[in-house]
Chains A and B, each alone.
Chain A
Amino acid sequence: MDIQLKRGLLEACVLAELDKGDSYGYQIVKDLSGVVEISESTLYPILKRLEASECLRVFSVEHNGRLRRYYRITETGRKKIKEFLNEWEEVTNVYAFISGINKGGQQS
């Protein structure tokens, strides 16, 4: 998959996951692995970017004698999800158009 496209998809996936509730790195990877191909190393720059663009906030919680970093979605993050969904409505239309042409080609 195209890198830019995948990056956008993953950002939206992470935001959608956080929209359900606060979460931490490993949990996010586990929850998303059923939806999209993601690893800890691909998640890290995405979390960094989302933090820099103020789509999420980071806070630490003590767990088993160590600190775990939790991520919480912000209003900007929720707006970003909406933007993503709006954009993809357009993409889905284009997809329908492209696959429609392909079907037409097979029939004729």
Chain B
Amino acid sequence: MTKREFLDKLRLEIRNLPYDEVEKTITYYEEMISDRMEDGATEAEAVASLGTSESIARDLQANQPFSAIIKRKVNDYKSKRSPESTALIIVLLVVLFPFWFPVLMSALGVIVSFFAAIGAIIIALWAISVSIGIGGIALIIASTFGFASSYIPTGFFSIGIGIALIGLAIIAIIGSFYATKGIIKLLELLIHAIKKLFVRRAHA
């Protein structure tokens, strides 16, 4: 395959990516082929060493945001179907509405509650940490009443517990911070894995 053929094929494969993304990618691979040829490879060797344009396109697609992938799916689908079969599918969708609608809704429900649950865990972590701290501050304030009413040991006891609670709160807040970061990272991994699943299926 010549350089021109390879780049044209690649451009076609990634045509759904944003315009500047396409240009950047083509420029990059063009430079790679030229550099390899300058290094003594023939044009065919240089092109072959880059792998197939399909696999390059697949990897690039997987790094796109979710919305871009869905849009690409829809466009792919549209370009493959004839108007008649599209009409048939619309009729089927309408007729079968009572069947697929509840399934779709419950699937959406599961997804929403999944994210709500994760959000709730994060909020709970922070709430617990902050409330321990507030408890500590309250106890220190309360201790002044102890001193004022000449219950000195009670006052000291309250201050001690108050400081301990604030210390605990600081540790808990640091813990919550890392836990939040960890959960967000896990979610990113999950979303990336799901995206990969979609892209792989398209080319299978």
Residues of A bordering B, CB below 8 Å: 4, 24-27, 30, 39-41, 44-45, 48, 64, 66-69
The DSSP consensus for interface residues of chain B is helix
Distance (Å) between the CB of A71 and the closest chain B CB? 11
Report chain B residues within 8 Å CB of A39: 49-51
Distance (Å) between the CB of A89 and the closest chain B CB? 19
| B59–A40 CB distance below 8 A | no
- Given B27, B31, B35, B51, which contacts A41 in the complex, CB threshold below 8 Å? B51
| B29–A66 CB distance below 8 A | no
Distance (Å) between the CB of A25 and the closest chain B CB? 6
Give the size category of B's interface with A. 20 to 34
With a 10 A CB-CB cut-off, give which of B27, B32, B49 has the most chain A CB atoms.
B32
Within 8 A of A (CB), among B105-159: none
B189 within 8 A of A: yes
A68 to B34, CA, bound (A): 10
| A4–B189 CB distance below 8 A | yes
User: Can you list 28 pairs linking A and B with CB atoms under 8 Å apart?
Assistant: A24-B35, A25-B28, A25-B31, A25-B32, A25-B35, A26-B32, A26-B36, A26-B39, A27-B35, A39-B49, A39-B50, A40-B32, A40-B49, A40-B50, A41-B50, A41-B51, A44-B28, A45-B59, A45-B60, A45-B63, A48-B24, A64-B38, A66-B31, A66-B34, A67-B31, A68-B31, A69-B27, A69-B31
